[in-house]
Chain A
Amino acid sequence: MSVTVANLSVAYRSHRGDVTAVDGVSFSLADGEIMGLAGESGCGKSTLGNALVCMDTRMKATAGKVMLDGKELPIEDGRAMRPLRMTEVSVVPQYAMNALTPTRKIRRLVTDLLKSHGVRDRDRVLTEMKRRIALIGLTGDVLGKYSFELSGGMRQRITILMSTLLNPSLLIADEVTSALDVSTQRAVGEMLLEFRDRGYVRSVIAITHDLSILAQIADSIAIMYAGRLVEKAPTPSIVNDALHPYTQALIASLPEVGVRHDQATLTGIPGRPPSLLRPPAGCRFRDRCPFAFDKCAENPPLQEVRPGHHVACWKAAQEASE
């Protein structure tokens, strides 16, 4: 196993109390696997991604551990994580494409980045970068440009390129396709696949709310709800045979090209996710679940009900045992 997350909990401190944004999440990633981490806003997926690199000082890992290639990642210690960032674990944060300094040319941004990570042989890395730039349909000229001269899609791809320059073992891509046009979304998605295939990055965690993109690029999908992991399975299983009622409802709410409202009415999910300041006991999806019954007052654990298919739901567990 390349990446293992065991019982990870991450909390924010607010003046109203601690908000546990990620609550006891466990999963593992094989070498070369692209895992999609999906869920709606507030479910904790971005928090989880950021916690794996100890990026945000407002959040604190309160329990659990993360192992990368058998070694434990010091995710509570920002300073200890520093040498590992970009070389072992790399993150492309949300809105990263807007975070490129507009007063420096791209080449300078890259060399600054390499310098700050102690890379001596920068010319060799730059040459490698030019090779990879050809992969994404750009030419080496882009190094001499400023970030505002590039379109959003180009900036996003350059950002991903920069993050994977040192061939990290794990790439965490947070909403990298969200703000893009459809054609550039495809380009970025295919870029992730290509980079994984060529070994520039070993495993990828793609965080997004867009299940359709994950259906295209991810090998497995993990669904989060209200801070908990509710389902994880290989992509075809999620898309065709989702077991958790939340996942099923999510899939039922996605409009498809070619389907009009008079042919099939989509339904949303009534209600809102629970507050994480004082979360309810038991299954957190209970209030909105059409299948809730008595046992749901007790929190369902994440169980492997079929080979490779994990669900945290009493109903699904019951049906699988029948």
Chain B
Amino acid sequence: MSELKVHEVSKLFQATTRAGGLTPALRKVSFELRQGEVISLIGESGSGKTTIGKVILRLVRPSSGTVTYDGKDITRYSARGLRDYYRHVQGVFQDPFSSYNPIYHADRVFDLLRDVYFARLSDAAWNDKIDAALHAVALNPSDVLGKYPHELSGGQQQRLLIARALLLDVRVLVADEIISMLDASTRVDVLNLLVKLKQEGLAILFITHDLSLGNYVSDRTIILRHGAIAEIGPTEMIFGNPQHDYTKMLLSAVPELHKKWRHTALGPVALPGDDGAVSGNGSAAVIPVAVPSNPNGRGATAPVPVIPLEPPVLHEFEPGHLVAEPE
């Protein structure tokens, strides 16, 4: 059983603001991904969720820590080893349109694979393979072959990219916000496709900021905050019985069709200069603002969290359900 193991991966970036210094984008993140399992990696912007995806895809080198696939360290791969790795591990990204080179046909993404992986296949066999992959993602070959990317809808573009991954013998798929730029009616189709692929044995790392999507599709959930794991465990436990304050805050902020937002304990706020009367239906709760970490910035507009390099310690709340200490 092939598995992907992320062990204490950290990534430091050079900050671009005046404060300078190194920003920790990832802080000793560890988790495992097994065959046929879908893990939702949920985090807001700046949590490091995209970075961990790129580290797994070897598009970014971790500053420390290891990622092992089938027991082998992926950072040690030679060029050939990397090629074999990509046979099993692939990625699909957020903006389907920018994954295509706009000057070529959309199906060139298939041809890119052919020279490297299927050089010896005959034309007929290659076309059969493409048809099978397109069929698996519910795309009609005559609808999408020979077209330019801008002639396809977002849903078609995204599914074509998944079909590309299926051409190889992919075992792990890193899906980085693949739904967020699609329309509501096509989102569901892509989501259901992921569920189908999972049932066929594919392991998926489903990176998203949308909790309802994560809930629909995944077996386990990781809540990422400021580059470290805040909570990790089976999806029903995380959503049904969240322990970390951050998780609870996220869940309370999700807009749902049939439930109004519950208000925080702050309640309505009177403005200085008001005569004390606050009108309206009391929905004037002031939400604390998340400010980008800027330790040396002049006159910060809210208390600035300085992000330490050590992540908070994880404690086991119940079997399989780990919660981090508050920072």
Give me the interface of A with B, judged by CB distance under 8 Å. 40-41, 131-132, 134-139, 141-142, 144-145, 149-154, 181-187, 189-190, 193-194, 196-199, 209-213, 215-216, 239-240, 249-251, 253-261, 265-269, 272
Contact = CB atoms under 8 A, between A and B. Distances in A.
B121 interface: no
A137 B188 contact: no
B279 A198 contact: yes
Contacts of B289: 136-138, 151, 153-154, 184, 187
Interface string B175-215: 00000000111111101100100000000000001111101
Contacts of A212: 254-257
Contacts of A197: 279-281, 283-284
B192 A266 contact: yes
B288 A137 contact: yes
Contacts of A268: 185-189, 192
A190 B283 CA distance: 7
Contacts of B216: 255, 259-261, 266
Contacts of B250: 182-183
B36 to A, nearest CB: 14
The 7 closest A-B pairs by CB, nearest first: A197-B280, A181-B44, A269-B185, A268-B188, A212-B255, A40-B183, A187-B287
A185 B261 CA distance: 11
A266 B154 contact: no
B260 interface: yes
B187 A193 contact: no
A144 B297 CA distance: 12
13 contacts: A40-B183, A131-B272, A137-B288, A154-B301, A183-B44, A183-B290, A193-B283, A193-B284, A209-B184, A215-B255, A253-B184, A257-B251, A261-B216
A150 B213 CA distance: 28
Nearest to A210: B255
A217 to B, nearest CB: 9
Nearest to A154: B289
Interface in B207-257: 209-213, 215-217, 235-236, 239-240, 249-251, 253-257
B299 A134 contact: no
Given A153-B289, A261-B217, 18 more contacts: A131-B271, A135-B269, A135-B284, A136-B286, A138-B301, A183-B44, A183-B250, A184-B287, A186-B261, A209-B183, A215-B257, A215-B258, A239-B257, A253-B184, A259-B216, A261-B216, A268-B185, A268-B187
B17 interface: yes
Nearest to B215: A257
Given A190-B287, A260-B216, A182 B269 contact: no
Contact of B273 (A41, A131, A196, A209): A131
B305 interface: no
A184 B291 CA distance: 11
B285 interface: yes
A134 B272 contact: yes
Nearest to A193: B283
- Greatest chain A CB density within 10 A among B253, B257, B283 is at B257
Contacts of A196: 280
Interface string B147-186: 0000001100000000000000000000000000001111
A117 to B, nearest CB: 24
Nearest to A186: B253
A175 to B, nearest CB: 12
B133 to A, nearest CB: 20
A260 B254 contact: no
Nearest to A214: B255
Nearest to A196: B280
A153 B273 contact: no
A269 B280 CA distance: 38
B300 interface: yes
Given A145-B301, A187-B289, A255 B215 contact: yes
A254 B254 CA distance: 13
Contacts of A139: 301-302
Given A137-B286, A153-B290, A261-B217, A183 B183 contact: no
Contacts of B99: none
